[in-house]
Amino acid sequence: MKPILALAFACSLAACATAPGETSRSDPYEGFNRSMLGFNLALDEAVLEPASEAYTAVTPRWGRDRVGDFFTNLGEPVTFVNELLQGNVDGATETGARFVVNSTVGLGGLFDMARFRGVEAHDEDFGQTLAVWGVDSGPYLVLPLLGSTNPRDLLGFGVDRGITPTNYVNYTTNDDDELAVRSGLAILNGLNARSRAQGQIETLRDQPEPYVALRRAHTSQRDAAIRNGQSDPDAYEELPDFDDF
């Protein structure tokens, strides 16, 4: 899971795709999860959405794209390591090349020059690596601020944070300045990601059962990410019949 936009990711309906025959996966903490989703959505409405709107108002699309490219580039080393851990050497090679090209020709990652050359960013994290290694996800969870997750992805989130190179780099020699820079970067990243998720969060709020929609979307998105975007070969076989009712 991407570090930054916990809530935005949690709310992401970016592809509401779901394993077709499935109507619910393991969800023993539904009551708690629903409460946390309510909290996250209320927080979003009260704080994140207004902040995101203000950010969008003063930051043109071009600027938001640069910010997005910059933080995507910062995350490439984590993707690189996870692709190696998954045995995906070709993917790691592409990610490594992207990082080198974008960090140099792309002016420190502000421009995704590799994408212009047809090499799209990958999205790999340690939660996916654990899945590739055969670790089960465990039950669905919604946590305050962090949003949708599960025990496997929660562990992966912690490991990814631990191997993020920028955590071990000092931007300044002054502790107060260091904190200010790190906080500023985190806020900028969060606002930018939240602004990109606006349409998805509106879609989520429009659902008759936002909790169910989110759980299904999150679960199926993670499944697809673990398959590296490949179609589910059983997708058609699992479809329910229409004549049963």
Partner 1 sequence: MTPLFKSLTVAASLALSVSLPAFADQASEDYVRENANHALSTLNDPELNSLERREAFQGLMNQFTDLERVSRFVIGRYARVFSDQEFDAYYDAYARYALATYEAELDKYRGEEIVVTGSTDRNDRDSIVETVVRRPTGDLPVRWRVLSTDDGEYQVVDVALELDGNLLWLAIEQRAQFMALLDRSNGSSAELIRTINEMTARLEARALAQRTDAGEITGASSVQAGR
Binding site for partner 1 (CB under 8 A): 12-18, 20, 23-24, 196-197, 199-200, 203, 206-209, 211-213, 216, 220-221, 223-225, 227-233, 235-237, 239-245
Q: Rank residues 20 and 151 by Cβ distance to partner 1 and give the closer one.
A: 20
The distance of closest approach from Cβ of residue 19 to partner 1 in the complex, given in angstroms and rounded to an integer, is: 9
- Listed in sequence order, the DSSP H helices in the chain are 6-11, 30-43, 49-58, 61-74, 76-85, 89-104, 113-116, 126-132, 151-162, 175-196, 198-205, 210-226
The distance of closest approach from Cβ of residue 155 to partner 1 in the complex, given in angstroms and rounded to an integer, is: 24
Q: Rank residues 55 and 211 by Cβ distance to partner 1 and give the closer one.
A: 211
CA–CA dist 168, 181 (Å, integer): 14
Q: Rank residues 149 and 221 by Cβ distance to partner 1 and give the closer one.
A: 221
Q: Rank residues 24 and 35 by Cβ distance to partner 1 and give the closer one.
A: 24
Tally of CB atoms within 10 A around 3: 20
For CA atoms 222, 224, 228, 229, the dihedral sign is: negative
Cβ–Cβ < 8 Å for 140, 215: yes
The distance of closest approach from Cβ of residue 4 to partner 1 in the complex, given in angstroms and rounded to an integer, is: 17
Q: Rank residues 176 and 241 by Cβ distance to partner 1 and give the closer one.
A: 241
* 215: exposed, middle or buried (Cβ count in 10 Å: 0-12, 13-18, 19+): buried
The distance of closest approach from Cβ of residue 80 to partner 1 in the complex, given in angstroms and rounded to an integer, is: 20
The distance of closest approach from Cβ of residue 179 to partner 1 in the complex, given in angstroms and rounded to an integer, is: 33
Q: Which residues of 121-133 are buried (b: 16+ CB within 10 A; e: fewer)?
A: bbbbbbbbbbbbe
Q: Is 228 left (phi over 0), alpha (psi -120 to 50) or beta?
A: left
* 231: exposed, middle or buried (Cβ count in 10 Å: 0-12, 13-18, 19+): exposed
Q: Rank residues 167 and 230 by Cβ distance to partner 1 and give the closer one.
A: 230
The distance of closest approach from Cβ of residue 200 to partner 1 in the complex, given in angstroms and rounded to an integer, is: 5
